[in-house]
Amino acid sequence: MATFSVKTTGVMLLMLGSFLVVIASLNVTLRALETKIDVVAYIKETADPAQIQNLRDSLSQNADVAAVRYVSKDEALTRMRQTLGEKAQLLSQVQGNPLPATSARRRSCCRKCRATRCRPAWRSSSSSPARRHR
């Protein structure tokens, strides 16, 4: 009877340890994904430069936004050709430039800094992590 209870306790502790490892791995993965959020806003062709600049300014003022980058139609087409590599000849079958101008933004890691990520730095006086900002 004693060996049964020892084995049961051992199995339960093993299950608990496995659960804690899975939870820790999920937390690390989710934090990594949080910092890799990119948002792309497609801009209408009828938008004038003043409207585009107003959009860029309003996005840049948001504390959650680390960077705003405007990509013109021509730059988008050049990027697509580079991405396609040998298959870029497929674009010759399309008349004009089908790609819209975009405004890409990258989410910042936190409200204190505008970096796209800050690394945890452990304080010696406490066990809670502090953020080291760029």
Which residues are registered as beta bridge partners of 83?
Answer: none
* Nearest alpha carbon to residue 70 among 56, 58, 84: 56
pLDDT in tens, 13-48: 999 999 999 999 999 998 888 777 777 888 888 888
pLDDT in tens, 96-109: 887 788 876 666 55
Q: How far is CA 49 from CA 39, 54, 62, in A?
A: 20, 9, 20
Domain limits, the chain: 1-34, 37-132
So what's the pLDDT on residue 92? Answer: 78
pTM, full prediction: 0.51
Determine how β-strand 38-43 pairs with β-strand 65-71: unpaired
What CATH architecture does domain 37-132 belong to? 2-Layer Sandwich (3.30)
Which residues are registered as beta bridge partners of 119?
Answer: 132
Q: Using CA atoms, how far apart are residues 55 and 103, in angstroms rounded to an integer?
A: 8
